[in-house]
Structure 1
């Protein structure tokens, strides 16, 4: 599965679910179950590559403004949410995180469940009920796609820089 097919799956399930993450999660699992196990593994690797790509200080600043804080798990789940929004939103947010102001109405956006769709589809497709080193998560980690090893890219910031860094998000969600 290449990058284009990955985004096609994300975009089509996002559209079909009409913004309901539980429906999107189920649609992703159903879609992936129809793929050979090797392609489900590739979906997981693509997902992880994009989540790691979004590990930037600017994306972290956006999450800080939106949620009021940043910590490890919520920051990971926020990046999953960003991937789950589809290619256009993801690409634009990486280019300009302030663009998220036009998309969001409420703080705290997360899509933790996206982390589990490949594993669930793989289990259903292969009939394996217990995770082992053939499962998507384990394969991706052996390929060096581990969130724990991620190094945030870009320049770090201080809280007093946030209003000028991302002014539209700051006007909508910011407080010091």
Structure 2
């Protein structure tokens, strides 16, 4: 699967926002098992690409804190919003203010399970199968959690958040 196809699947799933996870799984299940594995690999690469201190400042302002899990789920949420939002988060993180408000829940943990669920649905294998997309991607060194590469960039101190993210700060503080 090409990255372009990955983003097309994400964009199509956005049309069904109230149940985006199920729509993603439905769309992905139409692809080959190899493509489903590729989807997982691309997703993990993108989660790792988003691991940057300038991105980490966004959920710090929205939620007031960042834990390991909440940061992973936040990066999944960014990916689930499509290529344009992904690029904004990396290049101009304060511009995420255009799509958030006090009611925003920046969490899309379900993205982490889409490929495995689609793979199991299509193949009939169980949850412990070594060929599940998560296991294949992990064996290729694509870990976004405990064995992830170091976070990129320079850490932003709490006192600097209002100046670095003025648009987001105005919404949430």
Q: Structure 2 length normalisation: TM-score?
A: 0.95
Match of 2:126 in 1: 129
Does the CA contact (< 8 Å) of 1:107 and 1:173 recur in 2? Answer: no
1:47 to 38, 43, 49: 43
Aligned residue-pair number: 170
> Could you tell me how far 1:129 is from its partner in structure 2?
2.1
TM superposition shift of 1:33: 1.1
Structure 2 match to 1:72:
68
Q: Secondary structure at the match of 2:25?
A: helix
Paired with 1:92 and 1:112, the residues of 2 have a C-alpha distance of 20
Aligned-pair distance for 1:158? 0.8
Q: Could you give the per-residue CA deviations for residues 117-163 of structure 1, whole angstroms, max 9, x where no partner exists?
A: 10000001111123221100000001111012221100011100101
Q: Which residue of 1 aligns with 2:26?
A: 30
Q: TM-score when scaled to structure 1?
A: 0.93
Shift of 1:107: 4.4
Which blocks of at least 5 consecutive residues in structure 2 are unaligned? none
Which residue of structure 2 lines up, in the alignment, with residue 2 of structure 1? 2
Distance 2:46 2:157 in 1: 25
Supply the distance in 1 between the matched residues of 2:156 and 2:94 (Cα, whole angstroms). Answer: 15
Moved more, 98-107 or 65-74: 98-107
CA distance in structure 1 between the aligned counterparts of 2:128 and 2:31, rounded to whole angstroms? 19
Structure 1: tracts of 5 or more residues without a match: none
Query: Matched residue of 2:163: which SS?
Result: helix
